[in-house]
Structures are given as structure tokens and as C-alpha cells.
Structure 1
């Protein structure tokens, strides 16, 4: 059985968005409903927590230091000193009843930021491309719960999850625009949530209400399942010095009797080999 360990004991309501920050040699993750951005250094064990003024769907490192964050009312920037270094909006577009959700940085350094309605109404969410200068283009405008987004090692494929569809979809990608949407895989246990792509081009996806992380080949075949003690894993990412450890965020929200590990950051040492993730270029 695959060894699943607790990297950070926490009680996050809705832990999400693990991201390995290569420059800082740390993992960044968020508690969406707790409005918190967490960092964790697996070598020293050092942890930090920054409180944001709004629900925060994702936080990613910036090329010049600091963070880009997908908040309730849009996308904003923190400087290298975090909250102490100041905050500014990069793209602000408040919509009543809607918030930012998962996000990912594309190979060209743009941010692909998802949104969803709090009531998860179909068609209430979007996926948008945010350029370093704040220029924004909506890529998908008929989404319910915008979640996992990732690219193949050669950058020619885009993988995407709109959770209620129970599909992992794949698009052809020309560096700017996705096309030819089709299902890579249909999930039969729980709902697909956050995903990451490994060095072999395989897609790892966390299953909300499925209690597992699954790995699918580029052909859509299921070739590995990591069973978890928690019911609601939310996302996964490779981290550590060699990008071999799989980190998994988890949630407690909506559970009457959550497992003691629910809300913690989990890790599966030596699970595979991840891809370096680019920082946001803005």
C-alpha cells in the first residue's frame, strides 16, 4: 500500500491549490474559505500563514517574487514581503455570488484563473487567461465549477476539469487558445477536482468525495490509484528538491464527522516525477 503521510497538520475548511515554488523551495497552498495562503518548507519544516481580505481560490509564485492570487473579486498581486509588502489588483471583476477558484500558470507565464458561483450553478463560472499586464481574455464562459488546469510536457495539450461533468477534458493548445475539446477520462467515483501533469505526460487528479488520487495516461487509461484516508482530497502537485513527492490538499467543509487528517496537507513520498512549474510573469 502506498504510504500517505501528513506534511502539515491543519484544519483547513477548504484546502486547495498546492504549488511548488522552485525559487523558494517551498510548497504554497490555500484555504479558500479560511482566506489564508500557507507556505511549507519540507526541509526546515518552516511554515507561514498569510490572511487575505477575501476568499482565495489559488496563489502562485511570481517571477520577481511575491504571489499572484485568485480572489473573490478578481486577480491581485502581493510583493515579495507578502501582506507587509502591499497588495494591488491586477484584474478586478466583482460578480455577486461568484468567487475565484483554482488557477494555473501556463508555459508562457500567463495565469489561467477559474471562477465559480458559491451555489455552483451551471454556467455561472468561467476560465480566463490573465496576462502579466492585466489584460484578460475569457477562454471558457459556460462553466459550473472551474477546477484542475494543466499542460502536457510539450505544451501542446491543455487538460481541464469542470467538476460536475465528472470528466477530465483535453484540448489541443497552440500557446494561446485551446481547441478541439474532448474527454480524456470519465470519473466513476466522486468528482474530479485539482490536477497535475507529470514528466511522463500522465494526469494525476484528486477525487472530491472519492477519497483518492488517480493517474491517467495520455491515452486516458487509468494506471494508478492512491487511496486516501480522507473523503475530500481537492488537488495535488509534485514538490520537493527532485519533484518526486506528491502533495495533496484536503477539505473538511460539509462533512459531519471529518477524518482527523481532513483539512491537512498530505504527502506521498517518491510517488513519481513532476514537471517544473513556471512562475507568473507579472
Structure 2
């Protein structure tokens, strides 16, 4: 499958729609009040996706990149409001990450691999197997220290024909992996029921991973935390947080070490000790979030059919 030319416009330049204050914002700790106003407007940046997910901020190009998994597109939003395709069609790309040289790294649920791309080029598989078995369906990916990529490998993409292709797993585990870009070594770091989103703390000493197996009938509905040691070794696995409603899905960690996690009805804000700082209800079910924009104070939020944002005070 060869990718079509990039640059197909999905939204022309123009200001975003702005909602009034979000009703029901809850602030449980005064530290959050310095960051989040009760009258904060919700910005509607784009609509028309089928399953928007996996946003990443491209600082060098001043744009947000995210996936529409089911519609099989990777797209870019720009501050003037226009949205265009980067990759169309995709092999059911979900997770995205950005390397320092501008190369994009993707989780392909269709080809069950980690791949690389540059704007206008076909995606090239980078990681496809672990110890002779084909990966399940890589879901989320982040860059780590020392030229590493960390990704999760649940079975969602081989469980649903809407998000990939039905297939039997070739591996007896669903894992978090560490890939060394210099040596090509792939290391299995931890197993969960269905590992989903992942993010590092600012000091890279803690790794957060969501387990969302409840989506397909399992029991997983937690964020787990791991201590990150020498050579990335994970120890001290512990339950970190469970949301009051739904399943904690996508997550982002800000410069303070707070965890912002999406659930069925909004976004929970949690401090590094696992205490709830507050809750932001949303009119649409969010799937994931990330920080970007001027001074990294804009919280971009993907929902199934929309891309929205909140401009924080700090």
C-alpha cells in the first residue's frame, strides 16, 4: 500500500469555535486552581474524525500531529487552523512519537509493527517481531533516554476489524518494550493484561502505563507506575490510579509531574503521589491528550470525532 500525496486539506485556515465555560469543573486542590480556571473556554480545533487518538506536539514545525485510527489517516493541525493529511491511507496507525531529527515513529495496528516516516514518504517497518513471534498490535509509543523507544503491545488491533485485522496472537504475553535505536535490541520490560498508553515522569525515573483490558472484557482499568532504574530496568510495579468513571486511557505528564488522564467523561488531574487534584468534564468522550503550543501550556485533547484544546494558566 503506497501512501497518497500529503497535503490533502481537511480544514481550511480559520479561528476555532469556542465554547462557554465548561460546567462541572472540579478543583480538589488549590494548586490546580493556579493552572485551571473555572471559566476556561474549550476550543474546537477540528471535527470529522472517526477515532482520533495519539496526539504529539511537533515543536520544530509548530503543529500537532494525531491519528484517526479507523479512518486510517495521520493528520496535522496548524495554529492558523488548517488541518491536512500527512499519511493517507495508513495501516491503522495509532501511536505516534517524534525523533529529534523530525522523523515520525508510528504504531501500526494493521501491519503489527513499529514504523518510521518522513512527510510525503511511505512508512517503513522498524520493529516487527519479538523472539520470532510477530508483535500483537503496537498501540502507543514514546521516546526514552539514551536513544530508546518505548511502546506497548496489546491485542486491540487484532481483536477488532475496525482498528486492524483479526488475527491470533503469536506471543503469549502483552508487554511494554524498550527498543534501542543504536543497537537494534528489543527488550521486553514488563507485562500487563492489555498495556495501552504510557508516559515518563519529567525526571524519567517513573514510567506510567495504563492497563485497559476492561475495553474487551478484562479486569484492567488502572494506571500502573514503575520505577525506572539503570538501563531502563522496571521495578516496583504498583497501582497508581483508577478513575471514578470509565477506564483511564490516554495520558500526559506535565512539567510539574502531574498526570492528566482521559476517561469516558473527561480528564482527571493527578499529582505524583496519586492524589486527585481535579476533574475536567467534557461534552465528548476523550481518547488521549498531550501538551504543546506556546510555552507548552495548551492541552490538546483527542476525542473520537473531534480535536479540542484548553489553554492553561500555567
- TM-score, scaled relative to structure 2: 0.74
Q: Is 1:137 aligned to 2:187, yes or no?
A: yes
Q: Is 1:55 aligned to 2:108, yes or no?
A: no
1:147 deviates by 1.9
CA contact (8 A) 1:21 1:61 kept: yes
CA distance in 2, matches of 1:244, 1:109: 26
CA contact (8 A) 1:17 1:236 kept: yes
CA contact (8 A) 1:56 1:100 kept: no
CA distance in 2, matches of 1:177, 1:29: 29
CA distance in 2, matches of 1:108, 1:266: 33
CA distance in 2, matches of 1:6, 1:136: 39
Seen in structure 2, the aligned counterparts of structure 1 residues 108 and 34 have a Cα distance that, compared at 3 Å, is farther
Hey, which of these two has a bigger chunk of strand by percent?
1
CA distance in 1, matches of 2:313, 2:53: 19
Q: Secondary structure at the match of 2:145?
A: coil
> What is the match of residue 275 of structure 1?
none
CA distance in 1, matches of 2:267, 2:179: 29
1:47 deviates by 2.0
CA contact (8 A) 2:135 2:153 kept: no
Segments of structure 2 that go 5 or more residues without pairing to the other structure are: 1-21, 23-39, 161-168, 214-219
1:10-89 equivalences under 5 Å are 10=48, 12-42=49-79, 44-49=80-85, 50-72=87-109, 73-79=112-118, 82=119, 84-89=120-125
- TM-score, scaled relative to structure 1: 0.82
CA contact (8 A) 2:99 2:143 kept: no
CA distance in 2, matches of 1:96, 1:172: 28
Segments of structure 1 that go 5 or more residues without pairing to the other structure are: 252-262, 273-282
1:52 deviates by 4.1
Residue among 255, 269, 289 paired with 1:236:
289
CA distance in 2, matches of 1:138, 1:48: 36
Query: Size of the alignment, in residue pairs?
Result: 251
Higher relative contact order (CA closer than 8 Å, sequence separation 6+): 1
1:25 deviates by 1.3
CA distance in 2, matches of 1:69, 1:180: 29
> What is the match of residue 257 of structure 2?
201
CA distance in 1, matches of 2:243, 2:308: 22
1:1-282 equivalences under 5 Å are 1=22, 2-10=40-48, 12-42=49-79, 44-49=80-85, 50-72=87-109, 73-79=112-118, 82=119, 84-93=120-129, 98-118=136-156, 119=159, 125-133=174-182, 134-144=184-194, 146-164=195-213, 165-174=220-229, 176-207=232-263, 210-230=264-284, 232-251=285-304, 263-270=305-312, 272=314
Hey, which of these two has a bigger chunk of helix by percent?
2
Deviations 1:58-111 (A, max 9, x none): 1222222231111122111112xx2x3343221123978942212222233422
CA contact (8 A) 2:139 2:197 kept: no
Seen in structure 2, the aligned counterparts of structure 1 residues 124 and 233 have a Cα distance that, compared at 3 Å, is farther
